[in-house]
């Protein structure tokens, strides 16, 4: 059985893209993972990258990185980590290595020549412009990631991107072809559209990380302006406790806005199913925001919701092609108010039925065969 090593500096128990990758390949391959947390999937091997013990030299280099990059961007690009990855490759002797973080590409390019494995890079975004709205970041970390892409993408046997916009950028900038596998959600066969007959209020849900650049307050202000005909529930992962406190303060005077606690990964879609509208407004402050096609869009679809999104390139394609809901003209509070104000129960029911019709074709399982075929084709080369 073909052995695949998945290498990442991300959690594996709740990382949607990696979980679906494992599900796509697990039936016909032996999967071994290296990451921050153990995947909750039977039969998958795991090495805990957090157990690596840093030496004095490693700690000094990490502090230097923090100073230069004003953060911890390449925190695993350390001598001890390179030795650890080398030992993992030698010990596991995989036929394929799938990496989710570009920091590992320089070392894996060298190890590939030594051990002969096929190298797959599953990119979660376009890293050279990850925070392109921050000038200092562009001059430091941005240049670092650009160098990695320029020098080492040619050594990647298969590159996977999340959307066409980013795939096109990699082709234009670096001449690198890639396949597109979006962050599609597992197909929920037995979930059906819930038609809200209890009251006239339109129930809106938004879930995701509490990140300032996403301007979640715009959604709060829009629903406050719309009044009691609408309600908004927010399920926010606490990436920034101060930001969440600010959002709670903004919503304090509104009886139609509530904050709910995050739920387990497998509970998200069933919870969303109780609502009318899945809402996501994302101002295009960065390249990756402009081309964002996040998990939550596909989770809204599996929950059979009406979607309301901002005018973002990739999300707009999906919503308009399948007639899943409404796209606002812009990203301001006023744009959201105008867009949400067009909804009524009849329109929502129609959009929910369209989501039900599209759920299977836009599910993760629809891309499993593509992923499997690409991996098998690599092994034949």
CATH number of this structure's domain 2-184+364-380: 3.40.50.2000
Q: What is the reported pLDDT for 140?
A: 87
Element (H, E) at 82: helix 79-92
How far is the C-alpha of 79 from the C-alpha of 63, rounded, in Å?
14
Q: What is the pLDDT of residues 142-186, one digit of tens each?
A: 999 999 999 999 999 999 999 999 999 999 999 999 999 999 999
How far is the C-alpha of 354 from the C-alpha of 100, rounded, in Å?
33
Q: Where are the beta strands (DSSP E) in the chain?
A: 2-7, 29-35, 45-48, 96-99, 118-122, 158-161, 179-180, 202-209, 230-237, 257-260, 277-280, 306-309, 325-327
| Residue 7 pLDDT class (50, 70, 90 cuts) | very high
Q: What is the reported pLDDT for 50?
A: 87
pLDDT at 74 over 60: no
If one counts every other C-beta atom within 10 angstroms of the C-beta of residue 286, the result is 20
Q: What is the reported pLDDT for 190?
A: 95
Same fold, 2-184+364-380 and 202-358: yes
Q: What is the reported pLDDT for 72?
A: 53
Q: What is the reported pLDDT for 18?
A: 95
Q: What is the reported pLDDT for 76?
A: 61
pLDDT at 123 over 80: yes
61 or 154, which is more confident = 154
Identify the bridge partners of residue 190 per DSSP, sorted by sequence position: none
User: Where are the domains positioned within the chain?
Assistant: 2-184+364-380, 202-358
How far is the C-alpha of 134 from the C-alpha of 85, rounded, in Å?
31
Q: Can you count the helices (H) and strands (E) in the chain?
A: 16, 13
Q: What is the pLDDT of residues 233-281, one digit of tens each?
A: 999 988 889 999 999 999 999 999 999 999 988 899 999 999 999 999 9
Q: What is the pLDDT of residues 98-120, one digit of tens each?
A: 999 999 999 999 999 999 999 99
363 or 70, which is more confident = 363
Q: What is the reported pLDDT for 60?
A: 81
Q: What is the reported pLDDT for 185?
A: 94
73 or 347, which is more confident = 347
Nearest to 21, CA basis, from 92, 83, 132, 97 = 97
CA 244 to chain centre: 21
Q: Which CATH superfamily is domain 202-358 in?
A: Glycogen Phosphorylase B; (3.40.50.2000)
pLDDT at 31 over 60: yes
Say what the pTM is: 0.91
């Amino acid at each position: 059985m073909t052995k695949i090593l998945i290498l990442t500096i991300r959690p594996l128990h709740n990382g949607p893209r990696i979980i679906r990758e494992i599900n796509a390949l697990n039936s016909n391959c032996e999967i071994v993972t290296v990451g921050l947390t153990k995947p909750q999937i039977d039969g998958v091997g795991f090495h805990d990258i957090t157990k690596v013990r840093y030496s004095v030299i490693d700690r000094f280099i990490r502090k230097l990185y923090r100073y230069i990059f004003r953060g911890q961007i390449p925190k695993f690009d350390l001598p001890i980590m390179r030795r650890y990855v080398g030992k993992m490759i030698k010990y596991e002797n995989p036929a394929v290595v799938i990496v989710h973080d570009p920091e590992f590409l320089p070392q894996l390019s060298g190890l590939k020549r030594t051990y002969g494995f096929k190298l797959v890079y599953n990119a979660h975004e376009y890293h050279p412009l990850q925070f392109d709205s921050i000038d200092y970041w562009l001059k430091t970390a941005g240049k670092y990631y650009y160098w990695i892409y320029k020098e080492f993408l040619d050594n990647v046997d298969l590159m996977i991107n999340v959307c066409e916009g980013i795939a096109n950028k990699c082709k234009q900038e670096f001449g690198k072809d890639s396949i597109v596998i979006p962050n599609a959600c597992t197909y929920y066969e037995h979930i059906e559209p819930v038609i809200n007959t209890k009251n006239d209020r339109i129930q809106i849900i938004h879930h995701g990380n509490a990140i300032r650049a996403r301007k979640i307050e715009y959604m709060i202000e829009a629903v406050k302006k719309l009044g009691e005909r609408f309600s908004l529930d927010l399920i926010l992962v606490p990436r920034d406790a101060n930001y969440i406190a600010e959002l709670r303060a903004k919503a304090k005077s509104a009886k139609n806005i509530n904050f709910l606690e995050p739920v387990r990964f497998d509970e998200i879609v069933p919870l969303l199913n109780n609502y009318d509208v899945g809402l996501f407004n994302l101002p295009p402050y960065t390249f990756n925001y402009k081309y964002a096609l996040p998990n939550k869009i596909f989770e809204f679809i599996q929950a059979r919701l009406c979607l309301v999104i901002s005018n973002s390139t990739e999300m707009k394609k999906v919503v308009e092609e399948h007639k899943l809901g409404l796209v606002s003209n812009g990203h301001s509070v006023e744009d959201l108010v105008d867009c949400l104000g067009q909804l009524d129960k009849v329109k929502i029911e129609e959009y929910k039925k369209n989501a039900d019709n599209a759920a299977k074709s836009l599910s993760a399982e629809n891309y499993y065969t593509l992923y499997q075929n690409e991996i098998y084709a690599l092994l034949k080369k």
